[in-house]
Chain A
């Protein structure tokens, strides 16, 4: 008797596991990450990683592996609370040597490969609407080994472009930094795999993009899923601010009650303003568009804020003007001070009255008493510091 395989139900197993590629020290987001591990840095008033954890929990995930190459105590204790709140398990999978983007999957094999259910893999720096349920349904429906979320970009030449077979979601090939137009869908850094993929990855430094994906695609086992809505890698301050704008616009378009209502608050200008209820805003301030104000922050009279993020407990004093900048926790911006051009103040920075701060990255606990008229600190990708430096 011949048994038709197609009559078998598709793999109905609900994904229970997810791996988030957290990685290193978040040097690109310094000076914020000098005081606070990157996954805990707030994005729109919520720890970056919590946006992802909440979306995963919503999609039924019960076990989340954080692939890290260090494990700060503060992260362990914060996520302990998250575990309890959501009734999930959070595992720290600590690399002793860099394993690239695929090696961490092999390292976490015991959890990810526990049963036959597919698992999610996420890059921690990515913000989007995280449509994990639709992604899961798509993956289960096509039944192949892996799925990649893709997002459309205007200028694909700087990225790796995903090319599918005509009229299909099956990925044909990847073109790194194409010189001529081959498509505008790029890897959004969010994947779902069947556990069989673990057989393809050795416990050694491996790139998921360069090594693993081409191999799966060669077997025609990799599909692409169009990510609806916005997408941004928020790993560095400039993109963190752009991502904030995108997220706030998304909240506006979904009429989110989280946003401050301009009709009820005269100080909101142009909308897209997210203010923690515990923040104090002087009614003579003018705030917006695209502003996030964290818990217990204080905004003084006549302050003007736009396209900026004020983290918790920061104080912006009278008549200050801030644009395109991130004001770190517990920082203090003086009266009539102007801060702009991707300035990032670390934790507990004080900027004196009447200064001009242009494109500065100010290290934690510093006090600035003369203007910084030109950007000074150069960002380097690969400088590492001792984890014990973290003061928290």
Chain B
């Protein structure tokens, strides 16, 4: 079996600004989605790939930010090596790969190198990607995903030759429509035809690596039929949460809360959370550590982060409630589902940042509330600073 390694590109604190205000207190890769940090989902998928010996996480967060997580996953996945390599500055998506090429290529020397962005939510079909990759003679395989025609131009658009899966054309965010197959943010490269040998300061994986490889007919496309979403905005975390929970329901149902009249699957409830039996939870809810959910509370399509208290009869729908918030009795935190395409100036999902307090009976609908706010009036469609 050939040796593989996985690289996770996590970016740094200056990235992920569209995830604010959640990322003001929690670095984006560690944001809990479906009960696990965002980065855990691709990492655990790597751990299942036969022959994968090591996962290298590259970003420019402080080491201390990542060290706790690294320690945890090393314990959880003892059979693979996991390390965090910090860029001294943002080097671009491929720049980091080039910078750390020696670490990536150290023995056991990998035949295949997976590269995965973490701002996506996917089933991460790495094994299927590897299978296709092994069947052609190109140097790289990209995971292509199908999106709606209206949204395709927001992504890197791929034109494929259907019979051979050969990539014939690639344009990053084109001005006019090219195809519905777009770059899913997951790649597999041969070590032999090392694409990482461009000593530029800033090296972009898409424009500087993929485009020339497509032109040279050395890139192939694996079309992923399973779910896929970008996690760019805070609102998309709610969608990702429900997609991951639905998947976990099939792959690892014991991780989730057991279904009952008041628990509508899929629901994740941390073992240290306290839930009143009269509260009705789910579907698509993740409840973090130390959360208290009072009598007669309703939670649906939501992420409740650690230490938060939902008082009796309160109602949280289509929202993310940050850590250590307090939602008063009969208060309502309500949002709209994430729309297919963002409308400027319109907020869909409600986000309460850390330590927000909501007075009893107040309504917060489609709002973004910054940390440490105390709200005692109804609010709708506002950013509350």
Chain A residues within 8 Å of B, Cβ to Cβ: 284, 301-302, 304, 318-319, 321, 323, 335-336, 338, 340, 354, 356, 371, 373
B114 located at the interface, meaning its Cβ lies under 8 Å from any Cβ of chain A in the complex = no
* In the complex, chain B residues whose CB is within 8 Å of the CB of A323: 361
B363 with A302: CB separation less than 8 A: no
A64 to chain B, nearest CB (A): 44
B49 located at the interface, meaning its Cβ lies under 8 Å from any Cβ of chain A in the complex = no
Nearest opposing residue in chain A for B363, CB measure: A338
29 pairs from A and B in contact (CB 8 Å cutoff): A301-B296, A302-B295, A302-B296, A302-B312, A304-B313, A304-B330, A318-B296, A319-B296, A319-B313, A319-B315, A321-B313, A321-B330, A321-B332, A321-B361, A323-B361, A335-B298, A336-B280, A336-B315, A338-B332, A338-B363, A340-B363, A354-B298, A354-B315, A356-B332, A356-B334, A356-B365, A371-B334, A373-B365, A373-B380
Distance of A354 Cα from B361 Cα, bound (Å):
15
Nearest opposing residue in chain B for A301, CB measure: B296
Which one of B296, B317, B365, B380 contacts A354 once the chains associate, using CB atoms below 8 Å? B317
B169 located at the interface, meaning its Cβ lies under 8 Å from any Cβ of chain A in the complex = no
Against A, the Cβ 8 Å flags (1 = close, 0 = not) of B307-321 are 000001101010000
Distance of A338 Cα from B365 Cα, bound (Å):
12
* In the complex, chain B residues whose CB is within 8 Å of the CB of A319: 296, 298, 313, 315, 330
The number of chain B residues touching the other chain, given as a range, is: 10 to 19
* In the complex, chain A residues whose CB is within 8 Å of the CB of B363: 338, 340, 356
Which one of A302, A340, A354 contacts B313 once the chains associate, using CB atoms below 8 Å? A302
Chain B residues within 8 Å of A, Cβ to Cβ: 280, 295-296, 298, 300, 312-313, 315, 317, 330, 332, 334, 361, 363, 365, 380
**Chain B at the A interface: SS class:** strand
Q: Which of B295, B312, B313, B361 has the most CB of A within 10 A?
A: B313
Distance of A145 Cα from B154 Cα, bound (Å):
81
* In the complex, chain B residues whose CB is within 8 Å of the CB of A340: 363
* In the complex, chain A residues whose CB is within 8 Å of the CB of B313: 302, 304, 319, 321, 336
B71 to chain A, nearest CB (A): 41
7 shortest interchain CB distances as A-B pairs: A302-B296, A336-B298, A319-B313, A336-B315, A302-B313, A319-B296, A304-B330
Q: Which of A319, A340, A371 has the most CB of B within 10 A?
A: A319
Distance of A356 Cα from B300 Cα, bound (Å):
14
B361 with A304: CB separation less than 8 A: yes
* In the complex, chain A residues whose CB is within 8 Å of the CB of B330: 304, 319, 321
Nearest opposing residue in chain A for B316, CB measure: A336
Other A-B pairs beyond A284-B296, A318-B296, 5, CB < 8 Å: A319-B330, A321-B332, A356-B332, A356-B334, A356-B363
* In the complex, chain A residues whose CB is within 8 Å of the CB of B295: 302
Nearest opposing residue in chain A for B297, CB measure: A319
* In the complex, chain B residues whose CB is within 8 Å of the CB of A335: 298
Q: Which of B280, B315, B334 has the most CB of A within 10 A?
A: B315
